Amino acid sequence: MSVDLRYGVSNSLTLEFSSDQTTAFAGLDVETIDGSLKEVIHASLDQAIHFPAFREIVFPEDTLAIAIGEGIPRIAEILASLIDYIQTYTEVALEDITIVFPNELTASVESQLKELLDEFVFSTLTFELHNPAISEELAYLTATQEGEPIRLNKTLVDADVVLPICSNLPESLFGYAGFFHDLFPLYTETETILRFRSNMDIETLRRDSIEAANMLGIQYLLKVTPANGEAIHNIAAGDIFTLQKSVPSIATGSWSYSISESELTIGSLSGTQHQQTWDNLARALSTLAKATSMGGAIVICSQLSGPLPGPIKLLNSNDAQQQLGEQLKLQPDVDIQAAQEILNLRSDYHIYLLSDLNGEDVESIGLAHIESPAQINNLIAAARKVSCVADAHRVAVT
């Protein structure tokens, strides 16, 4: 039996299994939306359950801030469809709309959006890149139960209406802050980001993310459930109370699987560079570890590329844990959590990585470099039980 596993932008490899092997498969072919994305977006914004259509909750002279989440597939097309809806059905002025990006990687979609919008429309919109280290660009919102201040992006705090565009994924994923994950701590300050990256207390993170959303006055948002790669499974818009009851089950139904432990587990990261991140690699490893016997092997197929980030480089030292802790005190680097998770897992599992990274770099951080897909089939041939998980960074193992 053979199975095609997609990874990266458009790559795939054929995995070969024998009839006497025990195999399990997850996430290989998640259903995608029907119809054009523009039609789906418009319908979602107009058909909120138990809540007015979006056109009825924004008014002339309202300032509108659109907060973009991380790793959302086809985000430029989603934004273009949203702007079209606003122009067609509301009286919100283009000059009163600010699109806020959480980081440079997400902000790279701005160039794609320019190709999709009329030149005048694009030039009239305001774009902003969130910087958690600049106090002037942050505003005090509230305090946690422990008395720690929560400061959020000032544009979001000052806007009359904030419309977050968020991913919808299983809440048990590594590092996932739940329903408001793409709002908090994504758009907060350096100190808050540091606090949660140094102490992965997910329950506290989720509690504070709900408090931040409530204090920000979030009433309405757009939730995007991904399919494989850059495809979309579902888009839902509406008030936060209705969506909190309805959309988590969509993510669970699409991306939660019961997988018994295998001695070899193979997972992929498919999609553009927005999905090829160390954070997603760590999330995929965390998921696959739950489906792998202790001491077994985990293979990740990706198109991760570029030089190793600073925190990842620290994995090649004998005192990596101490160095990561010291680094964390200096700056909230986005890859520190990923480095910590890789460090935790590489001592319990043999981790193999297919990527566009330099092979020596991969080996230097304690992972095995896969030079060709044939090596993966060699690993399969030597295993009695194998699990294959597509888009493992989105899958929750139950």
What proportion of the chain, given as a percentage, has pLDDT over 90? 70
Structure confidence at residue 199 (pLDDT): 61
Task: Return all residues near 22 (Cβ < 8 A) that are at least 6 apart.
Answer: 262, 384, 385, 386
Which of 180, 205, 226 finishes a domain? Answer: 226
Task: Return all residues near 46 (Cβ < 8 A) that are at least 6 apart.
Answer: 53, 54, 55, 89
Structure confidence at residue 321 (pLDDT): 65
67: in domain:
yes
Residues 157 and 123 in one domain: yes
Confidence band, pLDDT 50/70/90 cuts, at residue 251: very high
Structure confidence at residue 121 (pLDDT): 96
Residues 17 and 48 in one domain: no
What proportion of the chain, given as a percentage, has pLDDT over 70? 95
Structure confidence at residue 144 (pLDDT): 83
Mean pLDDT of 1-12: 92
279: in domain:
yes
Q: For the segment 338-352, what is each residue's pLDDT rounded down to a tens digit?
A: 888 898 899 899 999
104: in domain:
yes
Residues 292 and 277 in one domain: yes
**Higher pLDDT residue, 347 or 288?**
288
pTM of the model as a whole: 0.92
Q: Identify the bridge partners of residue 386 per DSSP, sorted by sequence position.
A: 23, 264
172: in domain:
yes
164: in domain:
yes
Confidence band, pLDDT 50/70/90 cuts, at residue 302: very high
Structure confidence at residue 317 (pLDDT): 74
Q: Name the H helices within the chain.
A: 37-46, 75-89, 104-107, 109-116, 119-124, 154-158, 190-198, 202-216, 240-255, 278-289, 310-313, 320-330, 336-346, 359-364, 373-381
Helix (H) or strand (E) holding 220: strand 220-226
Structure confidence at residue 324 (pLDDT): 65
Would you list the DSSP string of 74-98?
THHHHHHHHHHHHHHH----GGGEE
Residues 23 and 44 in one domain: no
Residues 20 and 44 in one domain: no
The three-class DSSP label of residue 108 is coil
Structure confidence at residue 238 (pLDDT): 92
Confidence band, pLDDT 50/70/90 cuts, at residue 325: low
Residues 20 and 69 in one domain: no
163: in domain:
yes
Structure confidence at residue 116 (pLDDT): 96
Residues 56 and 149 in one domain: yes
Residues 261 and 198 in one domain: no
- Average pLDDT along the chain: 91
Mean pLDDT of 300-318: 88
CATH number at 333 reads 3.90.226.30
Whether residue 222 has pLDDT greater than 60: yes
Distance (Å, whole) CA 359 – CA 308: 11
Q: For the segment 84-108, what is each residue's pLDDT rounded down to a tens digit?
A: 999 999 999 999 999 999 988 888 9
**What is the residue whose two structure tokens read 């002339």?**
60
| Lowest-pLDDT range of 7-11, 65-69, 189-193 | 189-193
Confidence band, pLDDT 50/70/90 cuts, at residue 390: very high
261: in domain:
yes
Distance (Å, whole) CA 52 – CA 17: 52
Residues 93 and 213 in one domain: yes
Residues 161 and 271 in one domain: no
Q: For the segment 92-150, what is each residue's pLDDT rounded down to a tens digit?
A: 999 999 999 998 888 899 999 999 999 999 999 999 999 988 989 999 988 888 888 88
| Lowest-pLDDT range of 224-238, 326-340, 362-376 | 326-340
Nearest to 38 by CA among 74, 68, 90: 74
Structure confidence at residue 314 (pLDDT): 81
Dihedral-angle region of residue 50 (phi above 0 means left; psi in -120 to 50 means alpha; beta otherwise): left
Tokens, residue 167: 């991913």
ω into residue 185 within 30 of 0, thus cis?
yes
The sign one gets for the Cα dihedral 141, 142, 146, 147 is: positive
CATH number at 106 reads 3.40.50.11440
Mean pLDDT of 270-294: 95
Q: For the segment 20-73, what is each residue's pLDDT rounded down to a tens digit?
A: 989 999 999 999 998 899 999 999 999 877 789 999 999 999 999 999 999 999
Residues 25 and 42 in one domain: no
Distances (CA, A) of 351 to 142, 262, 364: 42, 14, 13
Q: How many structural domains does the chain have?
A: 2
For residue 106, give its domain range: 37-226
118: in domain:
yes
Residues 386 and 271 in one domain: yes
Structure confidence at residue 93 (pLDDT): 97
